[in-house]
Chain A
């Protein structure tokens, strides 16, 4: 396999509930290669979102290690952590909740350019215009407020912002789940094209194995905090080995066929 961008070993996180410790993620191990998409699929409460938050270090694990781009992500502090954050970006399900709704599109996209000192102030409008163009949005959108644009446009802005700091890995947590099907198809195509251009890796979290099949090279199936099955996406879907994998495959709504 090509270079490994992310390597996770024995990752664990428990939360307290009613005085008891409940394991949200237990002993999770996986890796993501350069230019690769790893799909993480599982039912509600299986630990997918906790796993992505651990990888982003939005929460701290109880056990295990995370190596990113050759370094130990979990021991980083201060400036070193901030510098790594430039190379790991995220896109969430609801960009209206992720952004200040009154912020302008240009502001949202140029924040990472400013914070990570990537582009001088004078050059930022051009950089924003270029990023908007790359995600298929017209330049005039730069002056609109986040709340004024459509859900699909907002998710494109979220992707433009994630791309702004030229990350090696983007964690996408249910990033297309709230979109209409036609918009979803465009966003998935955009993600695939951007990956081909830049070699960025994706950790693509979804409850929908059909969406994962469209975009992920490999898939990890989660249930009750554990990764219960991993493998090349086509292979896992064709012959799932775990009960959860079988249930996820069986539950995909299927269009009625002429011969049904």
Chain B
């Protein structure tokens, strides 16, 4: 594998009244081309700030230090990087048809005509396994369920054929059944197309199922990074072990005794 991007000594601070608060501090991380990287952390750990820094979406008030070096030059958001956020109701435009929203990236970045872009949108909607892609082109977000909307958001992120897909808590608002479907969809898409996936989540088990490597963030710092297997079975840092200890799945012993 070759490096897609080298992050060195990255620091990001935001202003909070008179103080400056570090959202990322001295982060060093290389993301390999074609890998699936899980970014794990609790609220305020800096994991979303990392996504914003990589995509150039940091607000003007953020102060950035250190370097982000892309192997093939600074990528363009929407063309080279697709982004999927937690809440498709706020990332999709409620008054724009599904067809236009998915086609827009292909028109803007691939220079396709609207007609050709709509055909591409229909294919993408089929790829994200939405029923009746033809009919959907003319539908609006409010007509879809949360899981369907997130599939549309994924299709829109894929429209210009990006090399990198960043999913920031993209399944956190979905119920577990739909979450499993969307994760399997993402997994299939990135494998099939050789896309680098950066999967940001608070759920370490979910990351362990999907990712090749996991990076753990806490309090603006990168705590540890390793293969998914190493991080979840042999964590090097006490914080990672604590996160694993707090994880609940069906193998966790119940907290309660027998029924009264």
Contact = CB atoms under 8 A, between A and B. Distances in A.
A256 B43 contact: no
A253 to B, nearest CB: 4
B178 A214 contact: no
Interface in A31-48: 33-37, 43-45
B254 A255 contact: no
Among the interface residues B147, B180, B203, B259, which one has the most CB atoms of the partner chain A within 10 A?
B259
A256 B233 contact: yes
A92 to B, nearest CB: 16
Contacts of A237: 250
A255 B174 contact: no
Interface string A166-196: 0000000000000011101100110010010
Contacts of A208: 176
A181 B254 CA distance: 16
A207 B243 contact: no
Interface in B155-189: 174-180
A215 B256 contact: yes
A233 to B, nearest CB: 7
Nearest to A176: B248
Interface in A203-260: 207-211, 213-218, 232-234, 237, 247-258, 260
Contacts of A258: 229, 233
Contacts of A75: none
Given A35-B260, A254-B205, A213 B176 contact: no
A251 B180 CA distance: 6
Nearest to A260: B229
Contact of B255 (A36, A188, A210, A255): A188
B174 A256 contact: no
A82 to B, nearest CB: 29
A253 B203 contact: yes
B218 to A, nearest CB: 10
A214 B208 CA distance: 21
B249 A252 contact: yes
Contacts of A37: 256
B42 interface: yes
Among the interface residues B145, B177, B203, B209, which one has the most CB atoms of the partner chain A within 10 A?
B177
A229 to B, nearest CB: 15
B183 to A, nearest CB: 8
B240 to A, nearest CB: 12
B106 interface: no
A250 to B, nearest CB: 7
Interface residues on B, range: 35 or more
A181 B249 CA distance: 12
A207 B245 CA distance: 21
Given A36-B260, A233-B254, A256-B209, A247 B42 contact: no
Nearest to A201: B260
B177 A253 contact: no
B176 A256 contact: no
Given A211-B248, A253-B205, A253-B209, A232 B42 contact: no
A255 B208 contact: yes
A180 B252 contact: no
Nearest to B173: A44
Interface in B188-220: 202-206, 208-209
Interface string A4-48: 000000000000000000000000000001111100000111000
A195 B156 CA distance: 48
Interface in A129-187: 151, 180-182, 184-185
B73 to A, nearest CB: 35
B178 A44 contact: yes
B146 A192 contact: no
Contacts of A35: 260
Nearest to A207: B175
Nearest to A45: B145
Contacts of A195: 256
B202 A181 contact: yes
B101 to A, nearest CB: 22
Nearest to A199: B260
Contacts of A255: 204-205, 208, 232, 244, 247, 249
B228 interface: yes
Contacts of B180: 250-251, 253
B177 A180 contact: no
Q: 5 smallest A-B Cβ distances: which pairs?
A: A256-B208, A253-B205, A217-B259, A180-B42, A251-B180
5 contacts: A208-B176, A215-B255, A253-B180, A253-B205, A256-B229
Given A217-B259, A258-B233, 4 more contacts: A35-B260, A181-B243, A247-B177, A248-B176
Interface of B: 42-43, 145-147, 174-180, 202-206, 208-209, 228-229, 232-233, 242-252, 254-256, 258-260
